[in-house]
DNA sequence: ACCGTCAACTTACCTAGATAACTACAGAAT
DNA sequence: ATTCTGTAGTTATCTAGGTAAGTTGACGGT
């Protein structure tokens, strides 16, 4: 096969520079599509798995075998294998070998990236519906670690696309005059800004959960859907570096506008 | 910025023992808690980020600086940095430095692992409600790439915990007498089995999506909830190595029994 | 038949060092 | 003032090995 350095044989003292040895990486056109060897190997092996050349359960060639095939050093190959491992495509068992894994639904992972991808370039408008200092309700006090009588800042935002609302955000922030947090939050005018602002500077950790809920009357009004419509509810809690909660809130977004999507298997869109 | 040796130089001996002959790896007690140096470094740097010692936006010490501090070779340090990068804790910019990243909601990732964790050991019962060969409906034919008049195998399963149903699964499988797929599927009696079976051997790829939907009357009956209740709908399509769809179906599961949860930031449970 | 030892193979982890490419900045040339 | 150029500092990648440790199976002793 020699998928790696097709040229063969002569390996110079050092691969990268010398213009004579025709290696994979020479395909760089000055500074455009340079691809590191380990990435190349990952792609090749992934493609073989995707094509069924290596089937689930099969044992891959040994590391030294791959080293010979691709004509790279063990370290480089090892790096490629590590990537395959934590993409979940293969398993390595010390002393036995490397094996192709089957798909396992339980390992699917979904990201919120799609949420911003969906609306990043679009004509998305962020409308600040409410911004006020309120006495903390029972649940708010619990989530933010406040005492009775303490206050919190309440924010509510509506996100629209072409005039149609698709997401609603409610948030309670600990009120701390020393922290100019709230003011900066008020400036936010983009979806991206909202998502980034939360974790901007002063936060160390976030805890997130997604549920499927029926729209309550109020939120239904904002989103212009009938009450009871099933929507996603993304709940978030942010903590500062001392572990104290700083912010708690929920995003409600319409499922017919946005779904969590992912793929499993060896054809990662890379 | 230079979060590096901010605290006034003396980072202290805490780092990696160093001393003279005392290296990280000496901490292994024969064969117990041996921890590779790069893992150790990842943990130390993560902890510093979590503690706010390195803040978002700060520039980390240079690689050679870290090499000196931890007394490891550039290669080892580089491996640690790579891990931090693809955990999303830091960014590296060639020629500029390594920087601590802030949190970004869009990068949160949720896995279905929790689904099996939640019910793996529990007294979970899988009840096969339906298993029949049916002419493919319009939508089924489209999803499975069947012609008019073709047949599909229809399966419906109900998952119960302590007698209470929490999930319902409907699936259409391409009917191929040569493939003993269906029979093996009929044997499945555990949640884990269902999740694994799908991707067991003959599948190359899976496409998954999650929506929030209102329960229809029939499914509501199975799940013993009022129609209209908001639930998660996990839709799946499996393809074989030729890219032909083989199976299509949906899991409906109750959101009050299961949520997608994750955390963001530098306190990875590890 | 059973069990322990050992060698071969494989993966896991690491070191030392070199080269390439990128960025920023200062200083020279225009 | 502007542009070019060199230099220092940074990360990115790779080579060429070596050591440690788990797995397997054959071999020999009991």
In angstroms, how far is C25 C1' from B93 CA?
A: 17
A238 touching chain B per CB within 8 A? yes
A140 and A205 within one domain: yes
Nearest chain A Cα distance for residue B79, angstroms:
9
Check whether residue A84 and residue A211 sit in a common domain: no
Tens digits of residue pLDDT in B180-189: 655 566 666 6
B62 touches strand D (CB under 7 A): yes
Segment A72-99 shows an average pLDDT of 88
pLDDT category of residue A1 using cuts at 50, 70 and 90: very low
Residue B229 vs residues B171, B174, B220, B223, B233: alpha-carbon distances, Å: 21, 31, 8, 10, 12
Q: Measured between beta carbons, which residues in chain B are less than 8 angstroms from residue A213?
A: 212, 230, 255
Regarding whether A154 and A244 lie in a shared domain, the answer is yes
3-class DSSP string for chain A? CCCCCCCCCCCCCCCCCCCCCCCHHHHCCCCCCCCCHHHHHHHHHHHHHHHCCCCCCCECCCHHHHHHHHCCCHHHHHHHHHHHHHCCCEEEECCCEEEECCCCHHHCEEECHHHHHHHCCCCEEEEEEEEEEEECCHHHHHHHCCCCCCEEEEEEEEEEECCEEEEEEEEEEECCCCCCHHHHHHHCCCHHHHHHHHCCCCCCEEEEEEEEEECCHHHHHHHCCCCCCEEEEEEEEEECCCCCEEEEEEEEEECCCCCEEEEEECCCCC
pLDDT of residue B183: 59
Chain A environment of B109 (Cβ under 8 Å): 109-112
Q: Are residues B240 and B119 in the same domain?
A: yes
Q: Each residue of A127-154: pLDDT tens digit?
A: 889 888 899 899 999 999 988 888 898 9
Report the distance separating Cα A165 and Cα A158, nearest Å. Answer: 7
Report yes or no: B70 and B79 within 8 Å, Cβ to Cβ: no
Q: Average the pLDDT over A115-135 and give the result.
A: 81
How many angstroms separate the most distant Cα atoms in chain A?
A: 78
- The string of DSSP codes covering B27-61 is G--SSSS---HHHHHHHHHHHHHHHTSS-TTPBPP
Query: Does residue A176 sit in the same domain as residue A220?
Result: yes
Q: What mean pLDDT value characterizes chain A?
A: 79
More confident residue, A168 or A162: A168
Selected residues 75-134 of chain A with any CB under 8 Å from a CB in chain B:
75, 102-113, 115-116
Reading the block at residue B28, the tokens are 């292994």
Are A104 and B199 inside 8 Å of each other by CB?
Answer: yes
Which positions ≥6 away from B96 have C-beta within 8 Å? none
What is the band of A94 on the pLDDT scale with cuts at 50, 70, 90? confident
For residues B167 and B228, membership in a common domain is answered with yes
Whether A90 contacts A66, CB under 8 Å: no
Average pLDDT over residues B27-35: 44
Same domain, A234 and A188: yes
d(CA A193, CA A208): 18
Per-residue pLDDT at A179: 64
* % pLDDT > 90, chain B: 32
Average pLDDT of span B101-130: 83
| Confidence bin at B20 (pLDDT 50/70/90) | very low
Say whether pTM exceeds 0.75. yes
Please, is B263 exposed, middle or buried when counting C-beta atoms within 10 Å of its C-beta (0-12, 13-18, 19+)? middle
Q: Do A212 and B231 touch (CB under 8 A)?
A: yes
B14 in a structural domain: no
B236: confidence class by pLDDT, cuts 50, 70, 90 = very high
Tally of structural domains, chain B? 2
Q: Is the CB of B33 under 7 A from strand D?
A: no
Compare B194 and B42 and report the one with higher pLDDT.
B42
Per the CB < 8 A criterion, the answer to whether B50 and A204 are in contact is: yes
Instruction: Please indicate, yes or no, if residue B133 is contained in any of the structural domains.
Output: yes
d(CA A98, CA A104): 18
Residues 18-47 on B with a CB inside 8 Å of A are none
Query: Residues of B from 71 to 110 whose C-beta is within 7 A of strand D: which are they?
Result: 74-75, 78, 81, 92-98
pLDDT over 80 at A187, yes or no = no
B268 located within any domain: no
Mean pLDDT of B210-237: 96
Specify if A8 maps to a domain.
no
Whole-angstrom CA distances from A120 to A170, A194, A225 are 21, 12, 23
* Highest mean pLDDT of the ranges A13-17, B23-27, B177-181: B177-181
* A244 assigned to some structural domain: yes
Q: Is B257 helix (H, G, I), strand (E, B) or coil?
A: coil
Q: B163 Cβ partners below 8 Å, 6+ apart?
A: B125
Of residues B123 and A102, more confidently modeled: A102
The least confident of A9-13, A75-79, B147-151 is A9-13
Identify the residue whose tokens are 């955000």.
Answer: A169
Beta bridge partners of B99: B59, B91
Distance B65 CA to D10 C1' (A): 11
Please state the length of chain B. Answer: 270
Nearest to A213 among B230, B241, B262 (CB): B230
3-state DSSP assignment of residue B192: helix
Residue of A nearest to B232 (CA): A212
What CATH number should be reported for the domain holding residue B194?
A: 3.40.1410.10
Q: Are residues A121 and A79 in the same domain?
A: no
pLDDT exceeds cutoff 70 at A245: yes
| pLDDT value, residue A19 | 31
Which pLDDT band holds residue A253 (cuts at 50, 70, 90)? very high
Closest by CA position to B210, among listed A168, A233, A262, A214: A262
In a domain, B36, yes or no: yes
For the CA of A112 and the C1' of C22, the distance in angstroms is 31
Residue A161 lies in a domain: yes
In this structure, the answer to whether residues B124 and B168 fall within a common structural domain is yes
Whether residue B72 is found in the same domain as residue B205: no
Q: Say whether pLDDT at A261 is over 90.
A: yes
pLDDT reading at A32 higher than 90? no
- For residues B91 and B99, the answer to whether their CB atoms sit within 8 Å is yes
What's the CA gap between B136 and B149, in Å, rounded? 7
pLDDT band at A168; cut points 50, 70, 90:
very high
Q: Helix B74-86 crosses helix B63-70 at what angle (to 10 degrees)?
A: 110
Decide if B50 and A205 are in contact by the 8 Å CB cutoff: yes
Write down the mean pLDDT value for chain B: 80
Give the C-alpha separation, A60 to A83, whole Å: 15
Confidence of residue A6 (pLDDT cuts 50, 70, 90): very low
The total of other beta-carbon atoms located within 10 Å of residue A52's CB is 16
Supply the CATH number for residue B72's domain.
1.10.10.10
Asked if residue A205 belongs to a domain, the reply is: yes
Residue-number span of the structural domain to which B71 is assigned: 24-102
Indicate the burial class of A148 (C-beta count within 10 angstroms; 0-12, 13-18, 19 or more). exposed
Query: Helix axis angle, A37-51 relative to A74-86, nearest 10°?
Result: 50
Q: Find chain A residues with C-beta within 8 A of B265's C-beta.
A: 199, 203-206
Residues B63 and B180 reside in one and the same domain: no
Q: Tell me: do B94 and B144 sit in the same domain.
A: no
First to last CA, chain A: 24
- According to DSSP, the residues that pair with B135 across neighbouring strands are B151
Q: Is the pLDDT of residue B12 over 80?
A: no
> A32: how many CB neighbours lie within 10 A of its CB?
7
Confidence at residue A209, expressed as pLDDT on a 0 to 100 scale: 95
pLDDT at A96: 82
């Amino acid at each position: 096969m020699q998928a790696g350095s097709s040229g063969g044989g002569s390996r110079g003292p050092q691969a990268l520079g010398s213009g004579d040895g025709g290696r994979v990486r020479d395909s760089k056109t000055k500074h455009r599509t340079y691809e590191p060897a380990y990435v190349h190997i990952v792609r090749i092996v992934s493609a073989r798995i995707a094509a069924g050349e290596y089937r689930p359960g099969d044992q891959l060639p040994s590391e030294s075998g791959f080293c010979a095939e691709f004509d790279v050093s063990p370290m480089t190959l090892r790096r490629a294998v590590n990537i395959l491992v934590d993409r979940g495509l293969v398993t390595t068992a010390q002393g036995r070998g490397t094996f192709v894994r089957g798909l396992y639904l339980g390992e699917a992972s979904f990201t919120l990236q799609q949420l911003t991808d969906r609306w990043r370039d679009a004509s998305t408008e962020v409308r600040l519906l409410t911004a006020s200092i309120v006495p903390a309700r029972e649940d708010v006090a619990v989530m933010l670690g406040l005492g009775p009588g303490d206050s919190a800042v309440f924010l509510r935002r509506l996100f629209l696309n072409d005039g149609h609302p698709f997401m609603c955000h409610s948030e309670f922030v600990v009120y701390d005059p020393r922290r100019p947090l709230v003011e900066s939050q008020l400036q936010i005018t983009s979806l991206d800004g909202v998502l980034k602002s939360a974790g901007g500077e002063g936060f160390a950790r976030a805890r997130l959960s997604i549920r499927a809920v029926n729209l309550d009357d109020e939120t239904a009004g904002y989103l212009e859907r009938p009450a009871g419509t099933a929507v996603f509810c993304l709940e978030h809690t942010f903590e500062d570096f001392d572990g104290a909660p700083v912010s708690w809130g929920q995003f409600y977004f319409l499922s017919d506008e946005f779904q969590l999507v992912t793929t499993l298997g060896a054809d990662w869109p890379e």
